[in-house]
Amino acid sequence: MLVHAIPTNITYEFAADVRAGLTRNGQKELPSKYLYDNVGSALFEVISYLPEYGLTRADERLLRRHADEIADRVAGPVAVAELGSGSGKKTRWLLEAFCRRQRTSYYPVEISSSALAMCERELRDIDRISIVGFEREYLDGLLEVAAYRKSGQHLLVLFLGSTIGNFDRPAGTKFLAEVRRILEPGDSLLLGTDLEKPSSQLLAAYNDELGVTAAFNLNLLARVNRELGADFDLRQFVHLARINDELRSVEMHLQSKRRQVVSIPAAEVVVEFQEGETIWTESSHKYSIDEMVETARNAGFRCEAQWIDEQWPFAENLLIAE
Ligand SMILES: C[S@@+](CC[C@H](N)C(=O)[O-])C[C@H]1O[C@@H](n2cnc3c(N)ncnc32)[C@H](O)[C@@H]1O
C-alpha cells in the first residue's frame, strides 16, 4: 500500500492540545482523537470483540447482509474513501461487493499509523483492489482523496462504527456539511449511527467487566507520559462511563482518586487535580432512526436508504449529496 504519512509536527500539536485541555476553566478535557496511538488502536480492536460492546458486530452484520444492495444503489464507477477506517475488517464486505463489479480504489484516511497498517494487512488480498492510505485528519485526507478522483468517477465516503457520535450534535452536522462541500452532487456517504438503547446496556458497553475500555481510556494518560514526558501515576486515576441524558450520550472520563499534581514538561505545564475531579476524554452520542434524515438534509444530503440491525439497535444510513 502506498501511504501518505502525516506531514505536520504531531508532538507539537499534541502538547498544545493537552495544555489547552488541562488548563481550561471548568471541566478538564483531552480530545478523543489522541486515544488512538498504536496501543489505543490495538485496544480498540479488542473492544470490538467484547460481549458488552455489540456496536461493531451490528455494523458488520448490516454491511455483510446488505453489501450488494449498497453497491447497487451507488452509481458506478466509484472510488471508496473511509474516514477513520480502524482495522477496516468489516469494510471487506463492501469492498468485495464493489470489486466483483469493477476494479476499485480504496482510500482509508486515518490519524493512527498502526490502524492504517492493520487495515492494509486486512484488505490487501481482495481481488481487483488498489489501496492508498492517508495518515491524515478526516477532512484533510478527504480533500486529498477528492483530488485523486478520475473524471466521471463517483466517490463513496464511509464513516462507519458510529464515529460521528464522537461529535456533539451541532458539530456532527457541521462536520457532515464540510464533507458535503468536498463532494460533488451524486456522490454518497454511508454513515453508521448507534441508536438509543437502555442506560444499563450503554454503561456496560463503555465499562466492560474485563477492563479493556478502562485500559483504552487510561492509555491516553500513558501516552502523555510516553510522548510528553509527563508523570501521571495511572493507578491514581480511574475510568468512568456516565450517561448524559440531556445530550443523549455516554461520556468517558478519567477520575482522580486523590488531590495530586502532575507535571507535563513538553507541554510546559503543571496541572493540579482535586480528589474526584475528572478529565473528559470522549463522548458517544446516540441517535433516533428519524433524526439522521433531517441531519442529512441540513448538511446537504438526501437520505436514500437506511438499514437497521435487529439485535443491537444500529443504523446504516446511505446519504446522497444533492
Ligand atoms: C471509533 S474508531 C472506529 C474505527 C472503525 N471505523 C470501526 O468502525 O470500527 C475511530 C477511528 O477513527 C480514527 N480517528 C479518530 N479521530 C480521527 C481524526 N480526527 N482524523 C482521522 N482519523 C481519526 C481513530 O484512529 C480510529 O481508528
Ligand 1, atom nearest to 56 Cα: 9
Q: What is the pLDDT of residue 76?
A: 78
β-partners of residue 123 are: none
* Contact (CB, 8 A) for 122 and 112: no
- Provide the CA 181 distance to its chain's centre, in angstroms: 20
User: Averaged in consecutive runs of 10 residues, what is the pLDDT profile of the chain (322 residues)?
Assistant: 67 96 98 98 98 98 98 91 98 98 96 96 97 96 94 96 98 98 97 98 98 98 98 98 98 98 97 98 97 96 97 98 97
Query: Is the alpha carbon torsion for 266, 272, 276, 282 positive or negative?
Result: negative
Who's near 172: CB < 8 A, 6+ residues apart? 164, 165, 285, 295
Q: What is the pLDDT of residue 4?
A: 74
Backbone angles phi, psi at 292, to 5 degrees: -70, -25
CA of 274 relative to ligand 1 center, distance in Å? 31
The grid coordinates of residue 147 equal 483530488
Query: Ligand 1, atom 15: nearest CA belongs to which residue?
Result: 33
Query: Ligand 1, atom 18: nearest CA belongs to which residue?
Result: 137
Query: Does ligand 1 have an atom closer than 6 angstroms to the CB of 254?
Result: no
List Cα–Cα distances, 274 to 52, 236, 238, 261, 278, in angstroms.
32, 12, 13, 9, 9
Count Cβ atoms below 10 Å from residue 56 Cβ, excluding itself.
Answer: 24
Query: Does ligand 1 have an atom closer than 6 angstroms to the CB of 84?
Result: yes
Whole-angstrom distance, CA of residue 124 vs CA of residue 96: 11
* Contact (CB, 8 A) for 197 and 286: yes
Residue whose C-alpha is closest to residue 213's, from 73, 48, 22: 48
CA of 134 relative to ligand 1 center, distance in Å? 13
Q: What is the pLDDT of residue 6?
A: 62
- Sheet containing 249-256: which strands, arranged edge to edge? 28-29, 278-285, 249-256, 237-244
* Contact (CB, 8 A) for 95 and 156: no
List Cα–Cα distances, 7 to 10, 19, 231, 267, in angstroms.
8, 22, 28, 21
Q: What is the pLDDT of residue 8?
A: 57
The grid coordinates of residue 226 equal 510516553
The secondary structure element, H or E, covering residue 317 is: strand 314-321
Q: What is the pLDDT of residue 7?
A: 55
